[in-house]
Amino acid sequence: MEAPSEKKSTLHEFRAFILRGNVVDLAVAVAVGAAFTAVVTSFVAAFITPIIGAFLGKDFQKLAFTINTSKFQYGLFINALVTFLITATVVFFFVVKPLQALVRRLGMSPPEPAPTAECPACLSEIPAAAIRCRYCTSELGVGWSSS
Ligand SMILES: [Zn+2]
């Protein structure tokens, strides 16, 4: 049994979660992704595997073997595999690569980590530009790491 005030705060949290900006963006991405998957799936089933099947002289949709009374439709699995490969290729070349190029062009690559050096007193790894060790609090002076 939940106390009414607890229930109210959970509802409040849920509302805050739904109204967070990126949930709507995520929902749109999932919906578009699902629609895209349906298009690729039907494209593969309608064109790609029949072309492969035409060369092999087989109908992929009907490829199956039977053990006792269990039917194993591995043709459908091949369809799904080809669909996955095409989806992965499209996502890589039309989403990942352009985004990487955009990030490079805008100079948004993560900053280089500051160079570190060993504190001469306690041998801890600290920023080379530090003038006092954060671990042993030794005064190091300017330019201690370059000598
Ligand atoms: Zn130190």
Q: What phi and psi values does residue 64 have, to the nearest 5 degrees?
A: -165, 155
**CB-based contacts of 94: which residues, under 8 Å, 6+ apart?**
none
pLDDT at 48: 79
pLDDT at site 136: 94
What is d(CA 27, CA 140) in angstroms, rounded to the nearest whole number? 54
Give me ligand 1 centre to Cα 146, in Å.
16
pLDDT value, residue 3: 55
Backbone angles phi, psi at 126, to 5 degrees: -135, 160
> What type of residue is 136?
C
The whole-number pLDDT of residue 5 equals 63
pTM of the model: 0.47
What's the gap in Å between 111 CA and the centre of ligand 1?
Answer: 25
Q: What is the pLDDT of residue 122?
A: 94
Instruction: Report the separation in Å between the CA atom of 115 and the middle of ligand 1, taken as the mean of its atom positions.
Output: 16
What's the pLDDT at 64? 82
Mean pLDDT by 10 residues, the chain (147 residues): 67 81 80 87 82 77 84 84 85 84 78 85 92 92 81
pLDDT (0 to 100) of residue 132: 93
Compute, in angstroms, the gap from residue 140 CA to the centroid of ligand 1. Answer: 9
DSSP secondary structure string for all residues of the chain: ---HHHHHHHHHHHHHHHHSHHHHHHHHHHHHHHHHHHHHHHHIIIIIHHHHHHHHT--GGG--EEETTEEE-HHHHHHHHHHHHHHHHHHIIIIIHHHHHHHHHTT-SPPPPPPEEE-TTT--EEETT-SB-TTT--B--TTTTT-
